[in-house]
Amino acid sequence: MDSTFRRTGNIHLQDLIDGLLSGNRAFLSKAITLVESKRSDDKKLSAELIDQILKPTNKSFRIGITGVPGVGKSTFIEAFGKMLTAIGKKVAVLSVDPSSNRTKGSILGDKTRMDELSKDPNAFIRPSASGSSLGGVAHNTREAILLCEAAGFDVIIIETVGVGQSETLVKDMVDYFLLLMLAGGGDELQGIKRGIMEMADHILINKADRDNLKAAKRAREDYKNAVHLFPPNEAAWEVPVGLCSAIEKTGVKETWGEIEKFLSQTKSNGWFDENRKRQALKWFHERIQARLEDHFYSKPEIKQEIKKREELISSQKLSVRKAVDELFKD
């Protein structure tokens, strides 16, 4: 039994690739696990895997969905995802939670989130990517997106689970960024910073149902006014502010309608491709930085050398400039 065979979960890399390309969800799952692995032999296999599946077709559409916990993200994704599979789309849902480690991630996975969607043969749901750093989580998620696309999923939803750090991270890997809000919470209460609202391509007020409908309509007007004051976005896109009820499934189709408008507008004005190009280049430079850091910190003596200089700097016996120069002296 060769190591390739063992490390891909008892299947040969070529079979894994063939299974993935045929759209098999179990193989897709195995492939994502492989690219998330930190083992150096797995990294070699992952590189080969990514290399072989990479045929950039720009056919898929990547949507980021954010909002504070409790706003209704998973309920919305379930309704939205089901609506999309009903019109013939294949939908993958990945989540990003920088604060999670493997254990917490699996608790989330165990929770019966998106129960119906997870049973849908045209849907694939994967709980949070793990990673020891924000950059690591982002990198793993980006590769998972590529794998989902290779497996034929045409709408990829990236849900942010953590609040605060994950929004920028997700914004940099999606074509469209949807912000779910609640009526009546007040922006501060909702923990949504102005910067996050400015990043959004779409603001959707969820739970616009029952006793809450009136307040939701009022909030829509407020947010519409707020959006008008934001600087124009590079996509030349007028950010829609909509209402929906993920539970009653209202406003869900309309949301897709807006997204299709965005798609046709940004594909014809060139923004769609430009944005993907910029994202790929940013990713490339982030990886260079991560590699440099890894390379530097993996030197056997480096920790001790840093510690020594920390003490000298604290007692003002060494300047920061000199300390750094010394560390980089070969």
Binding site for ligand GDP (CB under 6 A): 67, 69-75, 206-207, 209, 245-247
Instruction: Provide the minimum distance between the beta carbon of 230 and ligand GDP in the complex, in angstroms, as a whole number.
Output: 24
CB of 128 to ligand GDP, least distance (A): 13
Q: Which is nearer to ligand GDP, 80 or 272 (CB)?
A: 80
Q: How far apart are CA 101 and CA 113, in angstroms?
A: 18
Give whichever of 249 and 276 is closer to ligand GDP, judged by the CB atom.
249
Contact between 93 and 159 under an 8 Å Cβ cutoff? The reply is yes
Calculate the CA 164 to chain-centre distance: 13
Helices (H), the chain: 3-7, 13-21, 25-36, 40-53, 73-86, 102-110, 115-119, 134-150, 166-171, 194-199, 213-229, 252-268, 271-297, 302-314, 320-328
Closer Cβ to ligand GDP, 108 or 290, answer by number: 108
* Residue of closest CB approach to ligand GDP: 72
Nearer to ligand GDP, 34 or 243 (CB): 243
CB of 81 to ligand GDP, least distance (A): 12
Tokens of 19: 């299974």
State in angstroms the smallest separation of the CB of 70 from ligand GDP: 5
Of residues 146 and 205, the one with the C-beta less far from ligand GDP: 205
Give the C-alpha separation, 286 to 329, whole Å: 24
Cβ distance to ligand GDP smaller for residue 19 or 67: 67
CB of 221 to ligand GDP, least distance (A): 19
The alpha carbon dihedral of 33, 37, 39, 40 has a sign of positive
Neighbour count for residue 219 (Cβ, 10 Å): 22
CA atoms lying within 13 Å on the CB side of residue 237 = 29
Least Å distance between CB 84 and ligand GDP? 17
* CB half-sphere exposure, 144, CA atoms < 13 A: 32
Q: How far is the CB of 218 from ligand GDP (least distance, A)?
A: 17
Q: Which is nearer to ligand GDP, 70 or 164 (CB)?
A: 70
19 near 57, Cβ under 8 Å? no
